[in-house]
């Protein structure tokens, strides 16, 4: 039974809510209006919208000057490929944790096994050092890191139970980019000493700085924890009973996955894609640091307007509208699903 609310109170709430809503939206509205004005009109206050000669020329100028469509293309390539790549990794992982969980931690590695892993890693490091005439150059340090950290860490993580595995994946999202910026920057940049010292400079001009080869995997990794989490919460809601019924009826594992699970999982996958799309479309830290021309996305394109010459507000507004419009519309449609993805399921 809903409480009865007087019309007068409803009217009051309506007014307050609309005023606040319009105020919060106002900067976007103001930008949209300025995008259709001439430069000198954009600077004029108070504005007179009746006498303003509305124009579309700003959009043309923006395209002509800085080739907007190339940035849209770049953003789309990064966003779409990284989303697809993310799904390739995340769907099996989320499926595994939701439907075949390991409550007590699956592949337990015995203490002898761990000893073997550690000794093996050390042995490989020594071999690497030996072939490098006992000089600890960066190449050797790279191999060292790989074996000292990544292999044991993967095995350790892999032997966790599902609960801890999920939390560990979440914690990887919390590393601040400032902590990873330096190595990533140097690895991406062939002029950085890392490649020079590692002797990998023989790859010639191969350089993943400012290229899709660098940005797409990076964007995938940035969002992978969120994608896995969100898919996991969606998969969790699919009743296991249906799967069991299919199994009872003699469906093979493949049929169970493709005929029963996939159709039920599709809506969840779709909204995960939308969230990933929004996050990577708006990503700015890595885009500003690692791109400047060939793979530069829209956030870089807009940042070019931070040091312009002459009057530029109308052009800035036009460029801004073109950069945010697609994602704003997608965001409006997917706002309900966002909550789930952005709180790691902690608020439903």
Q: Which of residues 55-84 bind another protein (CB under 8 A)?
A: none
- Taking CB under 8 A as the binding criterion, the range among 51-59, 110-118, 201-209, 338-346 that sits at the site for another protein is 338-346
Question: Is residue 289 near another protein by the rule CB under 8 A?
Answer: yes
Residues of span 99-118 touching another protein by CB under 8 A:
99-102, 106-107
Q: Which residue's CB is nearer to another protein, number 17 or number 127? A: 17
Question: Is residue 221 near another protein by the rule CB under 8 A?
Answer: yes
Q: Long-range contacts of range 281-287, CB-CB < 8 Å, 24 or more positions apart?
A: 281/75, 281/79, 281/326, 281/327, 282/327, 283/219, 283/222, 285/177, 286/177, 286/184, 286/215, 286/218, 286/219, 286/222, 287/215
Query: By three-state DSSP, how is residue 156 classified?
Result: helix
DSSP string, 225-282: HHHHHHHHHHHHTS-HHHHHHHHHTT--HHHIIIIIIHHHHHHHHHHHHHHHHHHHHH
Give 139's Cβ-side CA count (13 Å radius).
Answer: 16
d(CA 267, CA 234) in angstroms, rounded, equals 9
Q: Are 345 and 229 in contact (CB under 8 A)?
A: yes
Question: Is residue 54 near another protein by the rule CB under 8 A?
Answer: no
Sign of CA dihedral 37, 326, 66, 223: positive
Q: Which residue's CB is nearer to another protein, number 92 or number 116? A: 92
Exactly one of 214, 272, 281, 295 binds another protein (CB under 8 A); that residue is 281
Residues of span 308-337 touching another protein by CB under 8 A:
313, 316-317, 320, 323-324, 327-328, 330-332, 335-336
Q: Which residue's CB is nearer to another protein, number 60 or number 183? A: 183
Question: Is residue 246 near another protein by the rule CB under 8 A?
Answer: no
Question: Is residue 24 near another protein by the rule CB under 8 A?
Answer: yes
State in angstroms the smallest separation of the CB of 94 from another protein: 9
d(CA 123, CA 109) in angstroms, rounded, equals 20
Q: Which residue's CB is nearer to another protein, number 193 or number 245? A: 193
Q: Which residue's CB is nearer to another protein, number 133 or number 307? A: 307
Residue 109 per-residue DSSP state: P
Residues of span 154-193 touching another protein by CB under 8 A:
154, 157-158, 163, 165-167, 169-186, 192-193
State in angstroms the smallest separation of the CB of 269 from another protein: 15
Exactly one of 50, 112, 248, 347 binds another protein (CB under 8 A); that residue is 347
Is the backbone peptide bond immediately before 80 cis, with ω within 30 degrees of 0? no
Q: Are 226 and 83 in contact (CB under 8 A)?
A: no
State in angstroms the smallest separation of the CB of 123 from another protein: 19
Q: Which residue's CB is nearer to another protein, number 172 or number 258? A: 172
Question: Is residue 348 near another protein by the rule CB under 8 A?
Answer: yes
State in angstroms the smallest separation of the CB of 133 from another protein: 18
Exactly one of 84, 119, 127, 346 binds another protein (CB under 8 A); that residue is 346
Question: Is residue 121 near another protein by the rule CB under 8 A?
Answer: no
- Site size toward another protein (CB under 8 A) is 114
Sign of CA dihedral 149, 150, 151, 155: positive
Residue 147 per-residue DSSP state: I
Cβ neighbors of 10 (< 8 A, separation 6 or more) are: none
State in angstroms the smallest separation of the CB of 265 from another protein: 14
Site of tokens 């899709």: 212
Exactly one of 18, 54, 73, 206 binds another protein (CB under 8 A); that residue is 18
Question: Is residue 96 near another protein by the rule CB under 8 A?
Answer: yes
């Amino acid at each position: 039974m809903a409480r009865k609310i007087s019309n007068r109170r409803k009217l009051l709430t309506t007014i307050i809510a609309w005023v606040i809503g319009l105020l919060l939206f106002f900067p976007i509205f103001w930008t949209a209006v300025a995008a259709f004005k001439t430069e000198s009109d954009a600077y004029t206050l108070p504005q007179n919208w009746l006498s303003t000669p509305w124009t579309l020329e700003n959009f043309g100028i923006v395209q002509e000057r800085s080739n907007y469509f190339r940035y849209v293309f770049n953003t789309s390539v990064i966003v779409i490929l990284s989303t697809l790549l993310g799904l390739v990794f995340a769907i099996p992982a989320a499926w595994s944790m939701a439907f075949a969980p390991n409550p007590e931690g699956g592949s337990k590695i015995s203490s002898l096994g761990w000893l073997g892993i550690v000794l093996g890693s050390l042995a490989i490091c020594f071999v690497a050092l030996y072939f490098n005439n006992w000089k600890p150059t960066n190449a050797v340090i790279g191999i060292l890191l790989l074996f000292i950290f990544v292999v044991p860490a993967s095995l350790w993580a892999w032997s966790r139970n599902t609960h801890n595995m999920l939390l560990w994946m979440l914690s990887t999202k919390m590393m601040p980019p400032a902590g990873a910026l330096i190595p990533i920057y140097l690895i991406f940049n062939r002029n950085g000493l890392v490649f020079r010292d590692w002797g990998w400079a023989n790859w010639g001009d191969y350089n993943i700085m400012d290229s899709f080869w660098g940005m797409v995997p990076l964007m995938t990794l940035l969002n992978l924890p969120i994608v896995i989490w969100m898919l996991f919460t969606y998969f969790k809601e699919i009743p296991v009973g249906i799967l069991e019924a299919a199994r009872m009826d003699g469906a093979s594992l493949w049929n169970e996955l493709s005929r029963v699970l996939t159709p039920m999982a599709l809506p969840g996958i779709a909204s995960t894609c939308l969230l990933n799309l929004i996050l990577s479309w708006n990503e700015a830290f890595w885009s500003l640091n690692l791109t400047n021309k060939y793979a530069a996305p829209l956030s870089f394109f807009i940042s070019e307007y931070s040091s312009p010459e002459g009057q530029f507000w109308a052009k800035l507004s036009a460029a801004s509208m073109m950069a945010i419009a697609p994602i704003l519309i997608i965001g409006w449609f997917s706002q309900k699903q966002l909550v789930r993805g952005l709180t790691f399921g902690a608020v439903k």
